[in-house]
Chain A
């Protein structure tokens, strides 16, 4: 037995141990837990971030909700100096649904407390009628708050939009009107309808309220003096086309929200197309110079006093004393018809037509308001067309396009786009040159002489170097020329480096026997009564007085422009 106990049994032992990476279940479990923990942590973090801020993201709102909703929102309009021309004002209409009133006595008592000066018996009557009625339209915010504090379910409110025009008539033709559904129906309001409903900042215009006022005042005065049916004036920067003032009379008070159907309320600057007469002679001369066919000193000798063209058309000088030998410069200064015809003939139909097209007086202009007139189409092959167009007859255009044409001729020959919308100046956007280099230099000198020596002397305001050209045209009524005059002055200043173009037009003027003209030649001479019903004695005088008033503002305020 003992032997048995001491026996040692030796068995073969296979050592299976290998030194290798642990593959225990414990490690796998740890990774899983870490991963799950990680996912949970991420979710918790994201959740905590959201959770922490859900409460504090609440808007801090006023007790009174703004009635301006997306549907009736409309941006304000300001002038170049930031003055409001149009402002949308928060407005609410408050009404009562009598059917929803729980305690009539209590409601009347409270209304009596709020409306101390209102006839409560009338409200009581309306409450008995059981139909919805407005308690107050365009209510003030404070009163609205008081009414809402009553907590009466019968009181309901609706948002309404009021467009206020602090300048009344001053910009009526530019701004235009809106209808009851917040849609623009004329002017800027119509043309920029979509933008005004979208933009968050006021729409800035190029116009200056002070200058607009001064020009309008003078136009009103001279319209009265010369008993004109209507009048218009535009002041524009010749270099960038920014319109500082655009007045068309008669105008209307936008705050009255009247429907305008009278044709006399037409926008005479943009919509009305007119035969403007001798102001077109500037274009004839400029066309010749641009083509290199004439120079200011080129002579036209032995001109007749009248010529015939076409079948029975006779063209004559307005003044029998017109010399027969004139240089190009003298033709413009003395406003010679025959001389202008001879220049146009030298230029020829195609070149003159192309020139007028280039300066933008022939076709409908692309502008910032909808009320734009289309110049009458011209049959250039019709007998006598070139001849009459040479002195501004048989051709129509708008005052706006006339201003554009004068700008291009005098600004160095650069194309411009008249605009009412103030844009940031883009220096990269180079101006397109459409006329030859020396044209402005030559034309400005001649235009200056027209004012200092010629037919526009009354606009020769000291210190401004005014240049320009007058135009007296007979208005066409039923295809026949009438005695009704369209008197125009297209002026630019200062002529050594033009900055502004000012066009003044008076329609259907009459002589005034009492008006006293003060000559601007330093003689102190005064003349009582207008000798003739021409532009030189009507629109030129008005333009002179306008420059007198706006000149100091333009010279000082816009010195850097």
Chain B
């Protein structure tokens, strides 16, 4: 009986150590990947910052006046249409439904 218990414990320890070994390997890989992602993240942040700056409304308006002759047009919300597909037909309806109040 004792031998069986000993053998079981031994096998369990062996199995645990093997599993732990492989887990450690995976952990290592995760750690390495994380460490490698970190500078990429920082780089992405810098690129996004640059993008946010260059595409900020202020800059876009500046480019518009600098490079285009025409002014930007205001969108009339009542002229926006909504497309809905029904039984292979496309229905065009007003985006803003007019009420008696309007």
Contacts and interface: CB of A to CB of B under 8 A. Distances in A.
Interface stretch (B32-40, B63-71, B85-93): B32-40
Given A170-B58, A209-B56, A555-B96, A66 B42 contact: yes
A38 B20 contact: no
Interface in A24-66: 34, 38, 41-42, 45, 48-49, 52-53, 56-57, 59-62, 66
Contact of A167 (B24, B56, B78, B95): B56
Given A62-B39, A549-B74, A84 B49 contact: yes
B99 interface: yes
A62 B101 CA distance: 65
B77 A555 contact: yes
Given A164-B49, A549-B74, A57 B28 contact: yes
Contact of A34 (B6, B31, B49, B96): B6
A293 B10 CA distance: 85
Given A452-B101, A548-B74, A552-B80, A45 B57 contact: no
Given A57-B31, A463-B77, A38 B6 contact: yes
A214 interface: yes
Contact of A209 (B9, B14, B24, B57): B57
Contacts of A59: 31, 35
A168 B102 CA distance: 39
A56 B58 contact: no
Interface string A173-210: 00000000000000000000000000000000000011
Nearest to B28: A56
Interface in A436-487: 448, 452, 462-465
Nearest to A552: B75
Contacts of B53: 166
A447 to B, nearest CB: 12
B14 to A, nearest CB: 7
Given A38-B6, A53-B24, A60-B32, A84 B78 contact: no
Contacts of B21: 49, 52
B80 A556 contact: yes
Nearest to B29: A56
Interface in A523-561: 548-549, 551-552, 555-556
A52 B20 CA distance: 11
Contacts of A49: 17, 20-21, 24
A76 interface: yes
Interface string A362-377: 0000000000000000
A45 B48 contact: no
A546 B96 CA distance: 19
A210 B57 contact: yes
A167 B80 CA distance: 30
A556 B101 contact: no
Given A49-B20, A448-B101, A548-B74, A463 B56 contact: no
A305 interface: no
A167 B53 CA distance: 7
Interface residues of B, number: 37
A45 B17 contact: yes
B56 A166 contact: yes
Contact of B10 (A41, A57, A496, A555): A41
A398 B32 CA distance: 53
Given A84-B49, A90-B42, A556 B95 contact: yes
A132 interface: no
Contacts of A324: none
A505 to B, nearest CB: 23
A87 interface: yes
Nearest to A164: B49
Contacts of A52: 21, 24
Interface string B1-30: 000001001100110010011001000100
B36 A555 contact: no
Interface of B: 6, 9-10, 13-14, 17, 20-21, 24, 28, 31-32, 35-36, 39, 42, 45-46, 48-49, 52-53, 56-58, 61, 74-78, 80, 95-96, 99, 101-102
Given A52-B24, A83-B52, A496-B99, 18 more contacts: A41-B13, A42-B13, A45-B14, A57-B28, A84-B48, A87-B49, A89-B49, A90-B42, A166-B49, A166-B52, A170-B56, A210-B57, A448-B101, A462-B76, A465-B99, A465-B102, A495-B101, A555-B95
26 contacts: A34-B6, A41-B13, A45-B13, A45-B14, A45-B17, A49-B20, A49-B24, A52-B24, A56-B28, A57-B28, A59-B35, A60-B32, A60-B36, A83-B52, A84-B49, A87-B49, A166-B56, A168-B58, A170-B58, A213-B56, A448-B101, A452-B101, A465-B102, A495-B101, A552-B75, A555-B80
